[in-house]
Amino acid sequence: MPVSLPPALDLSLDLLRCPTCRTRRLHPDRGALRCPVGHTFDIARHGYAGLLTGARATSGDDAAMVQARDRFLSTGAYEPLREVGVRLAVDAVPGQGTVVDAGCGTGYHLAGVLDRLPSTRGLGLETSVRALRSAARAHDRAAAVAWDVFRPFPLADGAADVVLNVFAGGSRCGASGTDDNAARCGARRREPGVIDKTPPRRHLAELRGQMPAMVTIDPAKEQRLHRALDPLFEAVVTQQVEYCVPLTKLNILDLIGMTPSARHVSRADLADGGALPDQVTVSVLATAYRPR
């Protein structure tokens, strides 16, 4: 039986463009999206559209990682991080706008923005099929699309008022040519911009000290992002969010398990409850950029 067009995807259908043709609009046709020359893309029964073409993008977000992320985020430990992104987005989006989340994960941060902007629609781009299943249900105004954000976005010019980048590959909106993605998304908009959240070295420092096998944070990441975006964008505000949060052993296991570090930390390290701290420092730099 063909899958009907999910309401959130219908709401954002005008933003999408055929990733093969690059310019032609997509329309629903018997449970799929199709362009005028016949390129066809499935709509999954879980509610997201699969636009990936050619070699499939790789993603470390398997089912266990997504489940760990859902459990950890449900504790509220990252709520202050979500809130700073919400505040920056509210300042950047007009009364009726569009927010594109590049590397949306399960849709947690995008849903927080949409909750505060009742006239705004959202579109999440993500490679992980498991995460997309959650992202497609994260908010009734948030569509979800399978896409590798290191490739040119399959979106119309001027599609977005704001592009979010939250822990999504460090500088996805400003690396490997994808700074053009942000510019193209925001073209011809009144006040387009990029909101990036990057963890400095203090982020989870207590946990990293006990678990040296965890993936390290590049200390030059923020500077590299600024350099990449600088030709097209200027930073207008940077807010540092830093706080300590108490965590149980299960919380910490989920925190490790929801990141690529899950593939590097051994089971023996995780089993040693005495090596786990009872609180960690959460530290993030949230920066809003606007076109020059």
Whether residue 267 is contained in a domain is answered as yes
Letter string b/e over residues 110-140, b meaning 16 or more CB atoms within 10 A of that residue's CB: bbbbbeebeebbbbbbbbbbbbbbbbbbbbe
Whether residue 202 is contained in a domain is answered as yes
Whether residue 227 is contained in a domain is answered as yes
Whether residue 1 is contained in a domain is answered as no
In the chain the first and final C-alpha atoms are separated, in Å, by 49
d(CA 264, CA 55): 26
Q: What DSSP assignment string belongs to 227-285?
A: HHHTTTEEEEEEEEEEEEEE--HHHHHHHHHTSGGGGTS-HHHHH-GGGS-SEEEEEEE
pLDDT in tens, the chain (292 residues): 455 789 999 999 999 999 999 889 999 998 899 999 999 999 999 999 999 887 565 555 889 999 999 999 999 999 999 999 899 988 888 778 899 999 999 999 999 999 999 999 999 999 999 999 999 999 999 999 999 888 889 999 888 888 998 886 543 443 333 445 555 554 334 344 778 878 878 898 888 888 877 877 766 667 777 777 777 788 888 888 999 999 998 999 999 889 888 888 877 776 665 678 889 999 988 888 887 7
| In contact, 144 and 6? CB cutoff 8 Å | no
Angle at 23 between CA 134 and CA 38, to 5 degrees: 80
Whether residue 233 is contained in a domain is answered as yes
- The predicted structure's pLDDT at residue 192: 47
SS3 (DSSP) at 76: coil
Q: What phi, psi does 197 have (nearest 5°)?
A: -120, 115
Strand partners for 32: 42
Whether residue 145 is contained in a domain is answered as yes
Q: What phi, psi does 126 have (nearest 5°)?
A: -160, 145
Whether residue 26 is contained in a domain is answered as yes
- The predicted structure's pLDDT at residue 169: 52
d(CA 85, CA 37): 39
- In angstroms and rounded to an integer, the radius of gyration of the C-alpha atoms of the chain is 19
- The predicted structure's pLDDT at residue 272: 64
Q: Which of 264, 195, 189, 265 is nearest to 225 (CA)?
A: 195
Q: Domain tally for the chain?
A: 1
- The predicted structure's pLDDT at residue 1: 46
- What domain range includes position 97? 7-291
Could you tell me the pTM of the whole model?
0.88
- Locus of tokens 């296991």: 253
- The predicted structure's pLDDT at residue 195: 80
Whether residue 2 is contained in a domain is answered as no
Exposed, middle or buried: residue 29 (CB in 10 Å: 0-12, 13-18, 19+)? middle
Residue 36, domain CATH: 3.40.50.150
Q: Which of 129, 154, 157, 161 is nearest to 44 (CA)?
A: 129
- The predicted structure's pLDDT at residue 227: 76
